[in-house]
Structure 1
Amino acid sequence: MTQPAYQRIADDLRRQIFGGQLAAGDKVPSRARLREQYDVSDQVAIQAVRLLISEGFLEARSGSGTYVRRKPTLKRLARSWYDTSGRTSSPFRTEMASQGRAGNWRVSSQTAAASPPVAERLDIAAGDPVMESRYTFLADDEPVMLSTSWEPLEITQGTPVMFPEEGPHAGAGVVARMREIGRHIETAQEVVTARPVLAVEADRLGEALGSVVMVIARTYATVDRPVETADIVVPVDRYELAYVIPVE
């Protein structure tokens, strides 16, 4: 299949950005220059530039032109096997504190019916009641990542940890909260994939449409069953994941 001309131009400009020929802050060729260089119409040149703007590679400056976007310095998010020695603070706050940053979050929780994919991950029936919590995690008041978590209500209903961010154990993290009701988490499985950001996620994260995000599908389980699962969304242009795995 023949590649559309605007995609061919966008691919070439991407290669120049990745290869360093076009550095952050550099002005990209004008519409007229692209038209002449690639022997295309004005409309095709505009489409190519608009595609790269939507993907977050370029930014348009009114009255000045289009430039290679300066991306934030890549920061690391450590994914460590959970310390079971009795820690009761949030792993996210602990990680941000290690970077000298203030970690916090916004959250809303409500009961919901488990979708088929969530039910499969929690080993419950589709439609079973779960506590669904939607988080926006912040570092120094800037959005870092998003998370939607689900916990089976058959485990937590009527207990002090039913609402993750309310009650005496609010904000302690899943492992510590579950320990309070006699559920000792033994394993944490994480499956990492990548995809384009959704519009609602781009708005919450301050990302451009077309940007790529990592999605971590995490499931905590006791020796008997899964007790929580979550989808964690992380922008790839701002963060890298580092896994720390103990070797016996």
Structure 2
Amino acid sequence: MPREAPYLEVADSLRARILRGEWEVGVRLPSRAQLAEEYGVGRNVTQRAMDRLIIEGLLEGRAGSGTYVRRPRERMRMVRSRHRERRGGSPFRADMRERGQAGTWESHSQARVPAPEPIAERLAIDPGDLCVTTRYEFLADGRPVQLSESWEPMAVTDGTPIVLPEMGPLAGAGVVERLRSIGVEVETAVEVPRPARATQAQANLLGISVGDLVLEIERTYYDTGGRPVETADIVVPDVRWEVAYEFGVDRG
């Protein structure tokens, strides 16, 4: 079998040493030069190995100081279920209230934005059809915990008081309640979760490291006629959330 790349072999060795407790949480690892000499490789190899372990969440780099064993972070459980939409108002705010935390968010909406092809396909509209798009940064007790980018076809909400999700009489009420107010009943939510690595922009907003694990959830709401009425891309940082799905079982 082909031999592993040298940096992967070094990463495997460092990982094993960390898990054995050779370096405890908060302890600074030897420098790249010291590790390169110890392993008989170039500094670029040890750098790539340490970068790999930073991405995995075992290490963290501190500017001007070095690389340290990272402290495990507490993870909350986010339960995605049909019951989230039955509580009324914002599901996120209700989730946070159940944990004794204040759920808030910052948002920015734009109206009359032409739908790009992937979004148009998800909403069953033509590319270029006008939408309202809203970018959200969700906070728990003021700490960033989740991102979302939502798209709503203007054909559904144009000319109504709820055309902008965070303005008007139902600002912040959530998609289901807002659409119900104009006679559109949301019946189904379809979610497609995909693991990914945090981009620079996502890391900056969430206060995590570039390359950290995130869960990207593609969610689309459908009305009683099966028409897509909203779609969103939700970004959940793995270091903060464990995502669980709850669904009923038909007992016949």
Q: With structure 1 as the length reference, what TM-score do the two structures score?
A: 0.89
- Counterpart of 1:226 (choices 225, 228, 239) is 228
Instruction: Assess if the C-alpha contact under 8 Å between 2:55 and 2:213 holds in 1.
Output: no
Q: CA deviation at 1:59?
A: 2.5
In structure 1, distance between residues paired with 2:62 and 2:108? 37
- Give the 5 Å matches for 1:94-133: 94-111=94-111, 112-133=113-134
Give the unaligned 5+ runs of structure 2. none
What is the percent sequence identity of the aligned residues?
Answer: 48
Change (3 A) 1:181 1:61: closer
Give the unaligned 5+ runs of structure 1. none
Instruction: Assess if the C-alpha contact under 8 Å between 2:176 and 2:186 holds in 1.
Output: yes
Provide the aligned C-alpha RMSD in A: 2.3
In structure 1, distance between residues paired with 2:249 and 2:20? 37
Q: With structure 2 as the length reference, what TM-score do the two structures score?
A: 0.88
Q: Which amino acid aligns with 1:76?
A: R
In structure 2, distance between residues paired with 1:188 and 1:139? 24
Q: Which amino acid aligns with 1:106?
A: E
Change (3 A) 1:19 1:109: farther
* 1:88-131 deviation per Cα after TM superposition (whole angstroms, max 9, x unaligned): 32110100010010000000000211111111111111111111
In structure 1, distance between residues paired with 2:200 and 2:16? 26
With 61-70 and 140-149 compared, the bigger mean Cα shift is at 61-70
Change (3 A) 1:202 1:166: same
Q: Which amino acid aligns with 2:137?
A: T
In structure 1, distance between residues paired with 2:232 and 2:43? 46
Partner of 1:214: 215
Change (3 A) 1:215 1:84: closer
Partner of 2:244: 242
SS at match of 1:202: helix
Instruction: Assess if the C-alpha contact under 8 Å between 1:55 and 1:209 holds in 2.
Output: no
Q: CA deviation at 1:13?
A: 2.5
Q: CA deviation at 1:157?
A: 0.5
Q: CA deviation at 1:39?
A: 1.7
- Give the 5 Å matches for 1:57-136: 57-61=58-62, 65-82=66-83, 87-111=87-111, 112-136=113-137
SS at match of 1:175: helix
Change (3 A) 1:145 1:82: same
Change (3 A) 1:178 1:82: farther
Q: Which amino acid aligns with 2:237?
A: P
Partner of 1:161: 162
In structure 2, distance between residues paired with 1:29 and 1:145? 34
Q: CA deviation at 1:23?
A: 4.7
Instruction: Assess if the C-alpha contact under 8 Å between 1:103 and 1:138 holds in 2.
Output: yes
* 1:34-84 deviation per Cα after TM superposition (whole angstroms, max 9, x unaligned): 224422123432343244346643234578643211132011112121466
